[in-house]
Structure 1
Amino acid sequence: MQRIMALGRHGRLLAWAAGFAVALSSVPDSRAQTWPAKPVRMIVPFPPGAAPDVVARLIADRLSHGWGQPVYVENKPGAGGIPGMSTLARSGADGYTVGFVPAAAAVLTPLLYKQPQYDMDRDIVPVAAVGTSPMMVVVPGSSGIRSMADLAKEGKARPGTLNFAAAQAGSVPHLTGEMLARAGGFQLFTVPYAGSPAAINAVLAGEAALTIDGIPALVQHVKAGKMRALAVTSPRRLPGLESVPTVAETLPGFESLGWFALFAPTGTPAAVVERINADINRLLDDKELVSRLADLGVYPMHGSAADLQAFVRGQQAVWKNTVQELAIQPQ
């Protein structure tokens, strides 16, 4: 008993990997069984340390143990994720290159850039969803705004005077803020910042009335009383944050989610796509991984490759409508 307990996390991971490998042996397709015979490249279209990179490395580490082959992360950051996504689109479709893709690169960049250099419907195929990443609407801890109803009331009383610190122009949090204002029938004065830290600091300093961002970036400030959480953008209240209402409780039907998923170049063998999808779904049932993802504000999203394709098409329609309503012109 003491020896088993002494194995710790390393031992649990080895045991998990062994069970994972046994489970994979039941996959009937011969091509899926022989793959992977060499390392797999996972392209992340954002820089090291960014949220997509952190989550991607968690997934890559687990897949490496399960597959018995290294899964190495290759960061290709740049405007809207274009360098990484265009590299993915033009990579060999042999099953040895996948992309760990966030919502922004999948559905916003093709709408916001005149020449995105990749086509999600033509060049890239869905493989497996990983998880959703809800956002949080926050104000300074000293603000008199204490609820979404207060925010809407203040926005209507003083149209265009509430400074909204947007993490980056054209980002999911930025457009979520614009959607929020339209849904609530009020106006915000949007101030784009060069990333989340700058936008968060503006709120902490009282230079901005509110910001919207991923939960991990904000929750420490909320717990410390430096920020007040008005709502989360998920359709339901979140585990561990049950006291924070959803936006939809004030503005029925409102929902805005970031998300992460695996994609591959068009032409990737169907058997390999099915194999990766099955393995990702199996990973998302692992309690330790689910707990670590929750710490990052990511909640598992199971489903087939076809389910992911339907989800992405729905997201494309939602964001296309939003961009058109806001009259945002491609750059």
Structure 2
Amino acid sequence: MTLLKTTTLFAAAAAAAIWFAAPASAQDYPTKDIRLVVPWAAGGGTDGISRKVSAIAEKELGQTIYVENVDGGMSANGIMNVMSARPDGYTIGVLTYDSVITVPYQKLLPSYDLDKLQMIGRLTLEPDAIIVSKDSPYKSVDELIAAAKKEPGEIKVAVQNTGSRTHLAMLKFEKLTGTDLDLIAYPGGASPQKEAMLSGEVGIAVTSLGDFSNLIEEGDARGLVEFSDTPNPTYKDVPDAKSAGLDVQSGSFIIVAAPKKTPEDVVEKLATAYENALNGEEFQSWVSKVGVTPAWLGPQEATAFVKDEQDRIFAQFDSLKESGAISQ
């Protein structure tokens, strides 16, 4: 075989390899199942919401979106899976507060960098709340405050990770109310908090009402106060912090993201499917019962939201560090 023919064949083979390796365009996408990484254990609010909206979105896409729970590292393990995945639209994931705030701020993993992701869209906003078990003697947040002042350091409260938004919210709550609570960290999202409450380890947990919606519906838990400035459209009997005279705002969100360099038209197709699913009657009817606020933002707006949240909350962290309330 001549050198010219060999070179030509090699070039053709290389071109073919590049063509086959290239991500499919949105015209054909998707041609197979899509993997959705949820970086928290199964059974929590993020898991339930992600599964529900994805099950609706997949109808428009024509392929199954299957959930893989990859927990650990305050969501870092799962998000790292997405960051390192091939940018072809067949691996996507969901970000929550810890993914955007806690992990980057605490610099838990040197290779963790949100610039490795392309935002697809924000799905929800979820204010946190103080939630008590069905047997709790506290019928209002004022009763809890009064009891905490009588028994400093004795009342157990399940927060999530140390330094998490729920932990910081309760540090602020203690400062505002002059109380001292026994804040116990349960890493891994709402699921371990539920188990702790159901087993009787704690009688109080701090997370979103949506995270505990199944326990609330079954009568095993109830909301005491929500860290928001507006009433919850689902749990109208739970007072918001503003009406309770508390200046505490805290909550999470769910954002869908893909690996960086995922083709723009593929991102747009995913964004359209999720937006339509979120705004459709099926999801709206379902979510109205779980205490979560649908709050869609498209790819560009979601990217700006992430930056704004980091700028705002990192400044709060810096202030708490300077005061000695938390460490890096």
Task: Please give the TM-score of this superposition, normalised by the length of structure 1.
Answer: 0.76
CA distance in structure 2 between the aligned counterparts of 1:184 and 1:287, rounded to whole angstroms: 42
Cα pair 1:44 1:73 within 8 Å, conserved? yes
SS where residue 247 of structure 1 aligns? Answer: coil
Uncovered stretches (5+) of structure 1, i.e. residues with no partner: 1-29
Can you list the C-alpha shifts for 1:199-255, whole angstroms capped at 9, x where unaligned? 456667876563212324545666777655321123311123212110122346532
Is the counterpart of residue 328 in structure 1 residue 326 in structure 2? yes
CA distance in structure 2 between the aligned counterparts of 1:45 and 1:205, rounded to whole angstroms: 24
Is the counterpart of residue 191 in structure 1 residue 184 in structure 2? yes
Does the C-alpha gap of structure 1 residues 315 and 183 become closer, same or farther in structure 2, counting only changes over 3 Å?
Answer: farther
How far does residue 126 in structure 1 lie from its aligned partner after superposition? 1.4
Aligned residue type for 2:242: A
- 1:181 — aligned with what? 174
Cα pair 1:40 1:72 within 8 Å, conserved? yes
Cα pair 2:234 2:289 within 8 Å, conserved? no
Is the counterpart of residue 257 in structure 1 residue 251 in structure 2? yes
CA distance in structure 2 between the aligned counterparts of 1:156 and 1:306, rounded to whole angstroms: 47
CA distance in structure 1 between the aligned counterparts of 2:37 and 2:196, rounded to whole angstroms: 32
- 2:19 — aligned with what? none
Is the counterpart of residue 307 in structure 1 residue 301 in structure 2? yes
Percent identity, aligned pairs only, is 25
CA distance in structure 1 between the aligned counterparts of 2:177 and 2:311, rounded to whole angstroms: 21
Q: 44, 49, 56: which is aligned to 1:55?
A: 49
Number of residue pairs the alignment of both structures matches: 300
Cα pair 1:39 1:69 within 8 Å, conserved? yes
How far does residue 31 in structure 1 lie from its aligned partner after superposition? 4.4
Cα pair 1:146 1:228 within 8 Å, conserved? no
Please show how residues 233-272 of structure 1 align to structure 2 within 5 Å: 233-251=227-245, 253-272=247-266
CA distance in structure 2 between the aligned counterparts of 1:139 and 1:171, rounded to whole angstroms: 19
Asked which structure has the greater CA Rg, the reply is 2
CA distance in structure 2 between the aligned counterparts of 1:181 and 1:238, rounded to whole angstroms: 23
CA distance in structure 2 between the aligned counterparts of 1:283 and 1:128, rounded to whole angstroms: 12
- 2:119 — aligned with what? 126
Cα pair 2:44 2:191 within 8 Å, conserved? no
Q: 77, 81, 84: which is aligned to 1:87?
A: 81
Q: 135, 138, 151: which is aligned to 2:128?
A: 135
Please show how residues 1-331 of structure 1 align to structure 2 within 5 Å: 31-115=25-109, 117-120=111-114, 122-139=115-132, 145-155=138-148, 159-193=152-186, 196=190, 199-200=193-194, 208=202, 210-216=204-210, 218=212, 227=221, 229-251=223-245, 253-324=247-318, 325=320, 327-330=325-328
Does the C-alpha gap of structure 1 residues 180 and 305 become closer, same or farther in structure 2, counting only changes over 3 Å?
Answer: farther
After TM superposition, the structure 1 stretch with the greater mean CA deviation from structure 2, 110-119 or 61-70, is: 110-119
CA distance in structure 2 between the aligned counterparts of 1:139 and 1:74, rounded to whole angstroms: 30
Does the C-alpha gap of structure 1 residues 144 and 67 become closer, same or farther in structure 2, counting only changes over 3 Å?
Answer: closer
Cα pair 1:290 1:299 within 8 Å, conserved? no
CA distance in structure 1 between the aligned counterparts of 2:175 and 2:304, rounded to whole angstroms: 26
Aligned residue type for 1:271: D
Uncovered stretches (5+) of structure 2, i.e. residues with no partner: 1-23
SS where residue 174 of structure 1 aligns? Answer: helix
Task: Please give the TM-score of this superposition, normalised by the length of structure 2.
Answer: 0.76
Cα pair 1:163 1:208 within 8 Å, conserved? yes
Aligned residue type for 2:124: G
CA distance in structure 2 between the aligned counterparts of 1:57 and 1:145, rounded to whole angstroms: 34
Aligned residue type for 2:100: A
